[in-house]
């Protein structure tokens, strides 16, 4: 009987294993290995050692600018994007009047593709017919004219605005953790005289640290791989004010430098692993919240 069950276990695991190896493991190994080659996609890869990495780190300041922009976007993700999504979850958790409507409206952006959002924001931030500038001019600033995506002073903020309040995933994660907290804990705290603020600070926040940590990881990794919002609006400019690692990778691909592009992709993977390790430690995600 035990051997019979074991056979069924293997039969269910094998398809998943094949999908993982084919679509994840092999491409990742290919990225790592071809990052050490000169490869234009037509001829066989030629081993060049660390030349691609030397080019990335020394040829120009593209990587430095990309990492600085990534750091700033990561800070925005950690201290604005995730707290905003968590705040909405806390409000919905209290089920005030109209909470179902708010929840429904807040979920709508999730069904719209990121590329579509980028196009929508191109019109919102358009100088002549854009919603934002026209609204400002209606307020009495009739001579107000700003090309948000094409002005070095505002392009970074404009790009950030396209995703910073797009926090429905954070809300869902935090809300599911809040709903999983035993009601007895809240009732006991109220009997002991705890205020709403103390319940949130002493009970809710510690017990949802797993979902907060997961949200931070997802949000920062989304910033590492952010491409559509930049490419469809500023293309990394003006200058290099919105340049990032994903655009570096794209530049390598369109110039048929696939070895260089895969070296950039390797750096992205290493950054993602670093974010995963650091956030796991900071939020103590490897420990049970109820211990």
For 103-132, the pLDDT digits (tens) are 788 778 777 888 888 889 989 999 888 899
pLDDT band at 208 (very low <50, low <70, confident <90, very high): very high
The residue among 210, 214, 174 whose CA lies nearest residue 87 is 174
pLDDT band at 8 (very low <50, low <70, confident <90, very high): confident
Which domains occur in the chain, in start order? 74-110+164-283 (1.10.3720.10)
Quote the DSSP letter at residue 44. Answer: P
Q: What is the pLDDT of residue 100?
A: 83
C-alpha span between 88 and 80 (Å, rounded): 12
pTM of the model: 0.88
| Residues 6 or more apart in contact with residue 129 via CB below 8 angstroms | 123
What Cα–Cα distance (Å) separates residue 137 from each residue in 212, 259, 272?
39, 49, 42
C-alpha span between 165 and 124 (Å, rounded): 15
DSSP lists the bridge partners of residue 47 as: 37
Q: What is the pLDDT of residue 191?
A: 92
pLDDT band at 2 (very low <50, low <70, confident <90, very high): low
CB 93 within 8 A of CB 173: no
Average pLDDT over residues 17-25: 92
pLDDT of residue 249 exceeding 90: yes
């Amino acid at each position: 009987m035990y051997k019979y069950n074991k056979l069924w276990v293997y039969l269910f695991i094998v398809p998943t294993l094949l999908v993982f190896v084919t679509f994840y493991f092999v491409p990742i190994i290919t990225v790592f290995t071809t990052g050490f080659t000169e490869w234009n996609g037509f001829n066989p890869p030629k081993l060049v050692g660390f030349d691609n990495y030397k080019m990335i780190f020394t040829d120009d300041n593209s990587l430095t600018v990309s990492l600085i922009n990534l750091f700033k976007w990561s800070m925005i993700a950690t201290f604005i994007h995730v707290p905003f999504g968590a705040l909405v979850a806390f409000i919905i958790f209290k089920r005030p009047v109209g909470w179902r409507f708010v929840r429904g409206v807040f979920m709508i952006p999730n069904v719209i593709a990121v590329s579509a959002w980028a196009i929508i924001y191109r019109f919102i931030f358009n100088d002549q017919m854009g919603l934002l500038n026209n609204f400002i001019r209606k307020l009495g600033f009739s001579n107000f004219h700003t090309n948000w995506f094409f002005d070095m002073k505002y392009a970074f903020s404009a790009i950030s605005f396209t995703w910073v309040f797009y926090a429905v995933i954070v809300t869902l994660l935090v809300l599911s953790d809040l709903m999983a907290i035993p009601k007895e804990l809240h009732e006991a705290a109220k009997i002991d005289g705890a205020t709403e603020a103390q319940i949130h600070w002493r009970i809710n926040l510690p017990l949802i640290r797993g979902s907060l940590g997961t949200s931070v990881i997802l949000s920062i990794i989304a910033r590492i791989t952010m491409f559509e919002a930049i490419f469809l609006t500023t293309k990394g400019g003006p200058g290099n004010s919105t340049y990032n690692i994903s655009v570096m990778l794209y530049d390598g691909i369109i110039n048929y430098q696939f070895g260089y592009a895969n070296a950039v992709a390797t750096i992205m993977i290493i950054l993602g692993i670093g974010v995963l390790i650091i956030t796991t430690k900071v939020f103590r995600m490897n420990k049970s919240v109820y211990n």
